Amino acid sequence: MSNFRSGVALFPKLQIEHTLNSKQITNTKKQKLPCLIAEPISAEQLNELKKQVTRAMKKIEPLSDLQIIFQNKCLTATQARSILLALEMEANRLQFAKFIYHYISDRQNFDIVIETLTFEPNKAALIAHISMQ
């Protein structure tokens, strides 16, 4: 299990350590932050997004669809986790988690999204992706 909140993610099985400080997590290039509205989406909107994301992730190249779906939308980490759980394949979950990071309003809670991934190498890949943002 990783310890993302404290700023260190440790994967003992793989003996990999990734360090992110809170500044890297919360102050990620604000000019690239597409989260344009302050309040999170409603429960009804979340259910519709789950359906749209599930359909989009079945495509060979889902990124353009996801960009359209999430245009001018903002999610909490809990809402992103909920969508992630609707995806069946771990590879799709990782791809979506990398994409959705920029649409999260409470990035300090993104560890719950990371913990949704099953495999430690995927968690490490997601943390590495976030740290490069």
Give the separation between CA 22 and CA 111, rounded to whole angstroms.
12
Its pTM stands at 0.71
Distance of CA 46 to the CA centre of its chain: 15
pLDDT at residue 12 is higher than 80: no
Ranges of each domain in the chain? 8-131
The residue whose two tokens read 């932050």 is 33
| Contact in structure between 18 and 128 (CB atoms under 8 Å) | yes
Residues 21-64 pLDDT 10s: 444 444 444 434 556 555 668 899 999 999 999 999 998 889 88
Q: Taking Cα atoms as reference points, which of 20, 17, 1, 15 lies closest to residue 117?
A: 1
pLDDT in the model for residue 128: 95
Distance of CA 67 to the CA centre of its chain: 14
